[in-house]
Amino acid sequence: MTMNTETNFERLTIDTNPVKLKIISDVYLVYTKRRTYAPAIDVQNVKNKLTSSIWVSAGSIANVLETQRKQNNGEIIGLELWFEKEGEDRFAKYKVSEA
């Protein structure tokens, strides 16, 4: 396994505005500046076709991805999902739903 020290693309910050994203990579690990590992995926914005990366360590994201993976023969690549944050607070949960 190759270890990244950065995400493959510029990181997308999910906020309270829903965004429809297509997953274009499997989960990969990034060794962060905090000297920890963080899981990430690469995504494409369905509307504007911009490619970026997002962290997927939050349970509210990881749980949905794992459920979707199990329902899709072990694959997440190609899934289109809506992502948004439930509130402005830094620790607000993420809402992820099928597109």
Q: Is residue 1 part of a domain?
A: no
pLDDT at res. 2: 63
Q: Is residue 10 part of a domain?
A: no
pLDDT at res. 1: 58
Q: Is residue 48 part of a domain?
A: yes
Q: Domains in the chain: how many in total?
A: 1
pLDDT at res. 99: 86
Q: Is residue 8 part of a domain?
A: no
E-assigned strand segments in the chain: 19-23, 28-31, 37-45, 51-55, 80-85, 94-98
Q: Is residue 4 part of a domain?
A: no
Mean pLDDT by 10 residues, the chain (99 residues): 83 96 96 91 98 96 96 97 95 93
Q: Is residue 13 part of a domain?
A: no
The closest alpha carbon to 44, from 72, 68, 79, 69, belongs to 79
Q: Is residue 29 part of a domain?
A: yes
Domain that residue 67 falls in: 19-98
